[in-house]
Amino acid sequence: MMQIKSFVRFRTPARRDNAWIGYLNGFVLAAIVGTVLTGCVTTSQFMGAKSQTARNDIFSEVDKKGAIPNGYADLEISASIKTHTEGFYLLESRDSLHGKKDYPFVLNIDGQAVVWKVDGQEETIPIHFKKGGRNPEGGSGVRYEIRKKIRLAAGAHRVFFGLPAEDYYREFDVTFKEDRSYALALYEPPISIYLPPEIFA
């Protein structure tokens, strides 16, 4: 993150009112920068907290086959994201997960969390569509995909899904009806999450 410095230049001789305005401007700028930096830290801490499990009785991963028991609902999760290869950008932080193994996907429902880590597969596709126009996912990169299915009690839940490597997340208050199967899908670009509208009722 870039360090922002502010300089206040006064004419000679400086008047007291001008000096006061200069100090005030410097204070306002410092407050704005501090707010931005605090926001960055808060986002990182929030994502980290959501990756931690506080309980283990909300959902469980299940096989794709089999009937849904009475009083429960299923949530099928699919996500696909493509990043550049490791080292593509010379100035990118060494801590970046782009193009590396163990790319994380985070799910948290009512305090129970799971972090799925994926190694990814290298992918090279044309940068232009056959009918013309640039393909935003074209070129060489690494694609990460997950396909999961979980089962949880029907009723109201808070669902969090995030990509720590992208500083991206979404959180929803939803209601699952019993004996129903739902889908959560993450697409990009741009990164977006789809959930069926009826669960927000």
Judging by DSSP bridges, how do beta strands 72-83 and 181-187 pair with one another? parallel
pLDDT exceeds cutoff 80 at 58: yes
Does residue 30 sit in helix, strand or coil?
helix
pLDDT band at 12 (very low <50, low <70, confident <90, very high): very low
Which pLDDT score, from 0 to 100, does residue 65 have? 79
- Residue 185 has a pLDDT of 94
Radius of gyration of the chain (CA): 23
Under 8 Å between Cβ of 39 and 47: no
Query: Average of pLDDT values for 39-64?
Result: 84
pTM: 0.75
Contacts 24+ apart (CB under 8 A), 92-96: 96/165
Q: Give pLDDT, residue 172.
A: 92
- The Cβ of residue 141 has, within 10 Å, a number of other Cβ atoms equal to 21
The domain limits of the chain are 7-50, 59-200
Average pLDDT rounded to a whole number, residues 110-118? 97
pLDDT band at 132 (very low <50, low <70, confident <90, very high): confident
The pLDDT of residue 2? 29
> Could you tell me the pLDDT band of residue 16, with boundaries at 50, 70 and 90?
very low
Ranked by mean pLDDT, the top range of 53-67, 105-119, 131-145 is 105-119
pLDDT at 198: 79
